[in-house]
Amino acid sequence: MNTIKACIFDLDGVIVDTAVYHYKAWKRLANSLGFDFTAHENEQLKGVSRVRSLQLILGWGGVVKTQAEQDVLATQKNEWYVDMISHMQPNEILPGAKKFLDQCRSAGLKIALGSASKNSMMILEKVGLVNYFDAIIDGNKVSKAKPDPEVFLKGAEAVGIPPGECVVFEDAIAGIEAAIAGGMKTVGIGSPEVLGDADLVLSGLSEMTMKKLAQL
Ligand code: B16
Ligand code: MG
C-alpha cells in the first residue's frame, strides 16, 4: 500500500473539456487579425497560460503586437471565452470524473485543484463541482506556469499533505513535468505516447479506481 492522502486535479482536459471553448475564442481572435491556425497547433495551447497562448498564436500568424495591444487582445479573447463557459452545464463534466471525486471523498482523501486557468472558479460553479474541493489553486494564485511545480506545491500545502503523498492528474506534458518536479505521483490523462513520463496513463478518469491509486 502506498500513502496517497491527496489528489490534485488539473481542470481543462481532466475534469471538463474547456479546450473546445478556448479554441473557438482563440480562433475568432486570430481570424479577426486576418489569419487562422490548425487544430494541431491548438494542441500546443493545452495547459499553457493565457498570455503565453497569445504569444504562440501571434507567432503562428507572423503578427507583431506591442504589450499594450497584447493586453487588449487577451482581454477580448477572455470575454468571448467567458461568454461561452457561462453557459456550461453539469453534463459537461468528463466521464468518470464525478464518480472518482466521490470515491476520493468517501476514502477520506484531500482534494485540490491545480489549474493554469484564471476562470476555474466559474467553471466549477457552473458544472456544480466547487464543493468537492478542499483547496483551489489556479492561475490567480501562482506566479510561475507549469512545468514549474508551484501550482501543485501550493495545492499540497493548502490541504496540508506532503508532496510525496499527493498524486496529480494531468492531461498536459508540462503539467506532468511540474508534478514530477514537485515530487508527486502522476497520472496522465490522454495518450501514453505523449504522457509516457507519468506513473500511469489513462484515457480518462472513468478508468481510475482506488485499487490503481493504491498501486501507484
Ligand atoms: P484562462 P488547465 C488551462 O487550463 C488551459 O488548458 C489552457 O488552454 C488555458 O490557456 C489556461 O488554462 C489559462 O486559462 O485563460 O481561463 O486563464 O489545463 O491548466 O486547467
Ligand atoms: Mg489541462
Ligand 1, residues at Cβ distance < 6 Å:
10-13, 22, 45-50, 53, 78, 115-119, 139, 172
Predicted local distance difference test score (pLDDT) of residue 194: 87
Residue among 14, 16, 18, 122 to mutate when testing ligand 1 (max atoms within 8 A of CB) = 18
Q: Which residues of the chain have pLDDT under 70?
A: 1-2
SS3 state of residue 216: coil
Which domains does the chain carry? 6-17+94-214 (3.40.50.1000), 19-85 (1.10.150.240)
Rounded to whole angstroms, how far apart are CA atoms 139 and 54?
A: 15
Give 146-185 pLDDT, tens digit per residue: 999 999 999 999 999 999 999 999 999 999 999 999 999 9
State which ligand 1 atom lies nearest to the alpha carbon of 170. Answer: 18
Rounded to whole angstroms, how far apart are CA atoms 13 and 65?
A: 30
Rounded to whole angstroms, how far apart are CA atoms 93 and 213?
A: 21
Given a contact cutoff of 8 angstroms between Cβ atoms, the answer to whether 27 and 78 are in contact is no
Q: Give the Å distance between the CA of 98 and the centre of ligand 1.
A: 20
71 tagged catalytic: no
- Helix or strand holding residue 9 (H, E): strand 6-9
Ligand nearest to the CA of 169: 2
Predicted local distance difference test score (pLDDT) of residue 47: 87
- Helix or strand holding residue 75 (H, E): helix 67-85
Q: Give the Å distance between the CA of 189 and the centre of ligand 2.
A: 9
10 tagged catalytic: yes
Predicted local distance difference test score (pLDDT) of residue 2: 60
Residue among 20, 21, 115, 168 to mutate when testing ligand 1 (max atoms within 8 A of CB) = 115
Q: Give the Å distance between the CA of 23 and the centre of ligand 1.
A: 11
Predicted local distance difference test score (pLDDT) of residue 142: 95
Q: Give the Å distance between the CA of 174 and the centre of ligand 2.
A: 9
Ligand nearest to the CA of 18: 1
Question: What type of residue sits at position 7?
Answer: C
Q: Whose CA is nearest to atom 8 of ligand 1?
A: 46
